[in-house]
Each structure stands twice: as C-alpha cells, then as structure tokens.
Amino acid sequence: MPELTAAAWAIIFGGVTLIIAGITLVIVLPGIIRDAQARRLSSRTYVIPEFVSHITAPTAAKTPEPPKVEPKPEAPIQPAPAPVATDAAQRTVAAVAALPSGVLWDREIVKAASMPLMQGADGWHALSILDSQHTVVCGASNSGKGNVLRLMAVSVLSLGPDVAHLWVFDTKSGVDYPLCTRIEHARLYANVKYADGIEKDGKSESKIDYGLKLAKAEMDRRNDLMFGKATNIHTYNKKVEPAERLPIIVLILDEFADFNAEQKELTETLVRQGRSAGFVVFLATQYPTAAVLSSQIQANCLRRICLRVDSAKRTLVSLGLEPGEARPFEPSAIASSGVAVYKTSGGTMHIGRVPYITDELYDVLSDEYAERWPRVATESGEDEAIADEKNSSNKWEASIRELAQSTELSSNKIYEQVGGNRNEVLRIVREERGNVSHFA
C-alpha cells in the first residue's frame, strides 16, 4: 500500500471536519431558530380594541319562559300498599306463620292406603302409599325428618301383611325402628353389631348389602310371576286368587348419603325397575346434593318431601328443580322443625306442618302391631323372617350356579341377570366353574 503524502492527509482531515460541522449544524440549527421565534413573539404587545374589550365569554341565547298555568288541586295522598311477598323466601316465611301449631299425629287420621303427611293452611295433604311412587325425603339435622320416617313406618304397618310390607335400611344403629324387629311384615337392615352378623359360608356380609340383594331377588321373582300375565302388580293382583296376591313392599332408606357405591347402584336398580313389581322407595338424606341424588334417582323419584335444608342450592336438588327455575317456596328459609314443602309427582307444591308422633304413642302402636301380627319362629327356633331371607338367598345362589353351567354366559352377563353383590356373584361363578378362566 503506497504511503500518503502530507497533501493527501490534509485533504482527508479537511473532509472529516466538514462532515462533523454539517452534522452539528443540522442538529443545532432548528433549536436556534425556535428560540429566536419565541423571543420575538414574547416581545410583542397586543392591544384589545375598545369595541370588543367588554366581551368576556360567549353566552347562550335565553329560552323564552313558558306561559304560567294555574296548578290544579292535588288529589288526596293514598296510603302505600302493604309489601307483597314476591320472593320465594318471603312467601315461605309468610306461609309458615299462617300454619297451625302443635299438630299431633292421631291414629284416627290414617285412612285406607294413605298417610296424612302434613296440615297446611288449606287443610290436610295426604300421601298415598300404594300408588307405587318413589319419594325423596330431605332435611337437615333436627328438621323433623326422623319424625316423617316414623310416621311412614307406622302408617305402612297399619295396613297389615296382606297389603304392605316394610323394609328399613339404616346406616346408623336402627334404634328408631324397634317395631321392625317384632312385627311379621317388617324387616330391619341396620349396620350394628347385633344385626350385622349375617354368616354365610363362613363369611360375614353387610346387613344392608344382604337386604338390598334380597330385595333385588324378590323383584326379579315377581317379574317372573307376572311375565305374560300383567305389566304391573296392581293388574296382577286383580287376575289371581286372593292367596296369590303380592303385597306392596315399602323400602325406607335412611341416611342414603352414607351408602357405599355398590349399595347405591343396587338402590338405583330398585328405583328404576321396582315400581311395576310393587316396590315403593322412600329415600332419606340430610345431604341433598347432586352427588348423593344421582340423575337416576332424580328422574325416578318424582315425589319430594323437603324439610329445612342448609342452603338455597340444596333446595333446588331437594325439590328436583333446575337453577333459575321458579319455585313458590324456599325450604332453606324454614326456621322451625316439622315444617315441610311437599312436591307431588305432578309437580304441585304445598307447604304444611308434619304431625308429630310422640314416643309414647309410637311405643303403644308397636306393642299393638306386634300383638296383632307377631313374628313367629320356625320349628328350629329361628325367626321366620330370617328363615325366609335365608331361603331367598339360597335361591339366589342356586340361580347363579345354574347359569354358570352355560358356557355362553360370562360372569358379567350372569351378574346382570341376578343382580346383588357383584364380587359374590363372581366368586360363586368361579367356584362353580372350577376357576376356568375362559368362562369369565
């Protein structure tokens, strides 16, 4: 690379200087011009002409005043109307205030096949026991739900063994239903020590599981009897001899929220298929939620008895209503025990006070029923009711073993036909087939 001469360096330096000066001029010159203009404008003096000096601000044109009209004499002021209870909660409070108080249950008010459920401001509302309508009973603790269930029990048992039988399933001790252990047409399935020891093949089975399985077997037996003769128990009883007629079986399921998944599945089967076979289910719970009352329960239990509940949300589930659906009463607004909203299977709602049955009268009725329809023992000394249950259980197992002989039926198909405890069905099938895996 040739060396640059002093003249060349001078030219380069001069060019760079000119470039820097140009950039500086472009940046600084606009500011200098703005400052000069500002100083020039600020030094000017403005004089307002005399003919406009009085103007301060534009004013709006004046609107001409309307002609004066003599006022007419005022009408006398009317008193404000009394507030109208338009809200469901307000209507409920007002309706409860109008109800009679101190309503006691009396045996004279029990009429044929009906239970006097509650007394409203417009009279008594009765609930039919024999119309094969399933019912959900909801109520928080100390709402009077237990009293409703006791009324159902004594009302059903008063009809006698030829008309109706009562089976009570209680996840608690069962102490509310002592009459069920003494009367011919009553059964008690409670999870307590004295009642839970159903021994079979050396194994203990839950009393509630055992009872639900027997109910399913009885339902299937009745359907077999009616096949080809009638589509429901009422038609069947009209066609057969009096000795062959089948009684209604009323199931009271107390504290249904505590049932396990398998017990709830059996219950749904009875609710869905049991009406035509003469099963009437009264399902009670303190916790009316969508998780407890499944869509199957909701769809098949159209009759509702709702006492005080903990929230408006539980009111909807208790009465089978959709969110936003209008309702005349709000059970969560009920403050006193024993007041209930009754929804018929047709959807009509009533509010009233459930009659209270005293412990003394309950005991008197238990003694009378036990004397009139006592449970009897077999020759072996065994309670006849328990003997019948064992007989039904043996028939259930025999039907499983018979079906297991067919290689065309899987274990699941056999379970679908006989129902009951799934694990027990699978055990019996494996035992009968000698644990041959290709049958299952």
Share of the chain above pLDDT 90, in %: 20
For residues 381-402, give the mean pLDDT. Answer: 63
Q: Give tens-digit pLDDT for 201-230.
A: 434 457 888 899 999 999 999 998 998 899
pLDDT at 251: 95
Confidence of residue 164 (pLDDT cuts 50, 70, 90): very high
More confidently predicted of 391 and 143: 143
pLDDT at 64: 58
The pTM of the full predicted model, rounded to 2 decimals, is 0.65
From the list 349, 337, 348, 350, the residue with the least C-alpha distance to 308 is 337
pLDDT at 199: 43
Which tokens belong to 384? 């006849």
CA–CA separation, 253 and 283 (whole Å): 5
Q: Give tens-digit pLDDT for 67-115.
A: 555 554 544 444 444 433 347 888 888 888 888 777 777 666 655 446 7
Q: Give tens-digit pLDDT for 404-419.
A: 888 778 888 888 777 7
Nearby residues of 282 by Cβ (< 8 Å), 6 or more positions away:
134, 135, 137, 149, 152, 250, 251, 252, 253
Confidence of residue 63 (pLDDT cuts 50, 70, 90): low
> Is residue 26 over pLDDT 70?
no
Q: Are 356 and 368 in contact (CB under 8 A)?
A: no
What are the structural domains of the chain?
A: 88-372 (3.40.50.300), 386-439 (no CATH)
Q: Give tens-digit pLDDT for 282-338.
A: 999 998 888 888 888 888 898 999 999 888 888 888 888 887 788 888 888 888 888
> Is residue 18 over pLDDT 60?
yes
Q: What is the mean pLDDT of the chain?
A: 77
Beta pairing, strands 203-205 & 248-254: unpaired
For residues 136-164, give the mean pLDDT. Answer: 90
State the DSSP code for 159: T
Q: Give tens-digit pLDDT for 38-59.
A: 565 455 444 444 433 443 444 4
State the DSSP code for 75: P
Confidence of residue 249 (pLDDT cuts 50, 70, 90): very high
